[in-house]
Amino acid sequence: MKENSAQRHILIVDNDTRIVAEMVRALSLRDHLQIHTCTNGADALQALQQNTFDLIIADWHVPQVDGITLIRHAQERSAETVTVLMSHYSIAEAQSLSATPVAHHYLTKPFAMDDLISVIDSIFPAITNHSPKVAHVLKVVLGGDANVGKTSLIQRYCTGLFDPTRAMTIGVDFHLYDLEIEQEPLRLVVWDLGGQERFSFARQAFYRGTQAVGLVFDASNRTSFYNLMRWWRETREYLPGVPVLMLANKIDLPRQISTEEAQQIAQAWNIQLFESSCATGDGVNEFFHALAQSAWEHLHALTATK
């Protein structure tokens, strides 16, 4: 998982998706953070078994496996993992309820995002300073069925690498990419909603404040193309007026969906079609640049009408 030694990997666990989305938004202005989120304890446990995190921030009362158990698991896996426990209890109440101190830091809910930032900055003092170069943060979301290649696309775009053995995404991942459009330094934050496909209502909070959406299907898999309709309806419901791009991925494999067939649907929805392969790298940069450009134009249109 560690593709860059300066990166710090953070796992956030809370079933309150609004709080998770707010925390991610606050942290996306910090540098060098790779944020991963889970909204239940079972997913978090699986993520902890697959990866070593530098920091885990867990709510005490998450469904299936509670935050204290998760923190203990993280500490057993690596003694270096810094732990933060969140709950509605005050520190005194928390101490009286749990015999031994379990976490390095404690956040009493509701907390201000500045409190979260202070904790993060105290844990990683040298690396996470606010990046003054960035003028705007663009939030884009990737939707589409599991296995269509969303995580691989982000990896390919951010690192130029393709790892065919990568483990499946559990929960929601976030990736930062700094770029310039029209000489403006921008930070693209890509939200990969992949691991949340089971429940569309759980995704609602993650859509807030999105400036562009990429809907990805696997050109070698007809079902993933048919299911794009559900993703399309969902984005129209939660993000009316936000630009959407369609992406046919895995074009290196034998195709079940031709360009012409995909183009017909894209035209019916009045959106642009792109094609890519993470294996060869074809079309990946073009897609993300178009996504960033659409997000930038949407942000402009919003600020112009205010």
From residue 194 to residue 233, the character string flagging contacts with Mg ion as x (rule: CB under 5 A) and all else as - is x---------------------------------------
Q: Per-residue x/- marks for Mg ion, 247-276, CB under 5 A? A: ------------------------------
Within residues 182-201, the interface with Mg ion by CB under 5 A covers: 194
Stretch binding Mg ion (CB under 5 A), from 17-25, 102-110, 146-154, 217-225: 146-154
Question: Taking the complex as a whole, how short is the minimal distance between the CB of residue 36 and Mg ion, in angstroms?
Answer: 11
CB of 139 to Mg ion, least distance (A): 18
Question: Among residues 83 and 221, whose Cβ is nearest to ligand GDP?
Answer: 221
Residues found near ligand GDP in the complex (CB under 6 A): 146-152, 164, 166, 168-169, 194, 249-250, 252-253, 277-279
**How far, in Å, CA of 113 to CA of 204, rounded?**
20
Is residue 143 close enough to count as binding Mg ion by CB under 5 A?
no
Q: Which is nearer to ligand GDP, 81 or 276 (CB)?
A: 276
> Does the bond joining 110 to the residue before it have cis omega, within 30 degrees of 0?
yes
* Residue from 28, 169, 249, 277 in contact with Mg ion (CB under 5 A): 169
> Which ranges of 140-194 would DSSP assign to H, the alpha helix?
150-159
Residue 127 binding partner per list Mg ion, ligand GDP, none, with a CB distance cut-off of 5 to 8 Å that depends on partner kind: none
Q: How far is the CB of 20 from ligand GDP (least distance, A)?
A: 19
274 within 8 A of 245, measured Cβ to Cβ: yes
Identity of residue 292:
A
How far, in Å, CA of 36 to CA of 45, rounded? 13
Three-class SS state of 154: helix
The strand pairing partners of 213, in sequence order, are 141, 244
Q: Could you tell me how many residues make up the chain?
A: 306
Q: Which residue's CB is nearer to Mg ion, number 41 or number 143? A: 143
Closest residue to ligand GDP, Cβ-based? Answer: 149
What are the residues binding Mg ion (CB under 5 A)? 150-151, 169, 194
